[in-house]
Amino acid sequence: MVLDNLGSSLRGSLDKLQGKSRLSEEDVEEIVKEIQRSLLSADVDVSLVMDLSSSIKERATEEEPPGGTSARDHVLKIVYEELVDLIGESTDIPLEPQTIMLAGLQGSGKTTTAAKMAWWFSKKGLRPAVIQTDTFRPGAYDQAKQMCERAEVDFYGDPEGEDPVQIARDGLEATDDADVHIVDTAGRHALEDSLIDEIEEIEGVVQPDLSLLVLDAAIGQGAKEQAREFDDSVGIGGVVITKLDGTAKGGGALTAVNETDSSISFLGTGETVQDIERFEPNGFISRLLG
Ligand code: GDP
């Protein structure tokens, strides 16, 4: 059955349905309330939670469980389907030559994700290169270089460079032998005009096939504005959620996915280059509800 790692209170409510073939209105109310509680504490946007709960309530009340299906399994299936509908499948990442640009605020995990993704592509038999254009954050160059060495992938950066757009241009030329180019960009502590201007210029030079928004799993309501700004400026085709090895559940990513009409591509689960996974809805949904 889908969703094996549910939180104990939701599981408790579901277990009360054991043996029932039909759900009462109170049963549905209780389950929906538990789901709301879980999703809100996982930082899922309030209006998304409300939309989701009304669809779940409607379906659980109106749809008859198919023959042989218990009420418990039926409601679980509805919850799962509605969440998958919202979250979607993983972003399509073709295993072919391409350029991917990473966007996000400082500290979200872009540099780490760039090296991790390069490692991931190299394991798939491609030849990736990371181009580090972050001239804003001290230490970004060294960090990226070291991680790329560990990942055994090509790297370009210019520790003396001050113009990220020029670095991007030079980087593409210098890593001509690579087939997948991953362009890391500078963040800022907050959304500032200078950040948006800079990333738009880099995008113009790099012309990425895909731009990914990197979000810390702990991001809450801030996800919406970031997603909107970056989507308006460079077009976001997918979201990366980092730091899922911590306690945060990453519900803010749903807001971003919804806002950018995109999907989740990768998950970051630690600080080393191997700590990356492709997004997969089942595990993520279990975590959100857990
Ligand atoms: P950037 O400013 O967006 O480039 O962010 P960094 O890549 O420098 O990441 C900021 C901090 O978060 C660093 O200390 C990283 O080691 C850490 N970090 C990034 N991704 C993860 C992750 O998936 N798990 C954990 N635990 N730490 C991470």
Residue with tokens 């295993």, as numbered in its chain: 95
Give me ligand 1 centre to Cα 261, in Å: 25
What is the CB neighbour count within 10 angstroms for residue 124? 11
Give me ligand 1 centre to Cα 112, in Å: 6
- From 112, 113, 147, 266, give the residue whose CB has the most ligand 1 atoms within 8 Å, as the site to mutate: 112
Is 85 flagged in the annotation as binding? no
Give me ligand 1 centre to Cα 242, in Å: 7
pLDDT tens, residue order, the chain (290 aa): 455 566 667 777 788 877 777 788 898 898 899 999 989 989 999 999 999 999 999 999 899 888 888 888 888 889 989 999 989 999 999 999 999 999 999 999 999 999 999 999 999 999 999 999 999 888 999 999 999 999 999 999 999 999 999 999 999 999 999 999 999 999 887 788 888 999 999 999 999 999 999 999 999 888 999 999 999 999 999 999 999 999 999 999 999 999 999 999 999 999 999 999 999 998 898 888 87
Q: Ligand 1: which residues within 6 Å by Cβ?
A: 104, 106-112, 137, 143, 187, 242-243, 245-246, 268-271, 275
Report pLDDT for 97: 98
Report pLDDT for 1: 46
pTM of the model: 0.93
> Based on the number of CB atoms within 10 Å of its own CB, is 119 exposed (0-12), middle (13-18) or buried (19 or more)?
buried
What is the CB neighbour count within 10 angstroms for residue 72? 22
Cα dist from 18 to 6, 11, 12, 74, whole Å: 16, 11, 10, 11
> Length of the chain, please?
290
Nearest CA to ligand 1 atom 19: 109
Report pLDDT for 18: 79
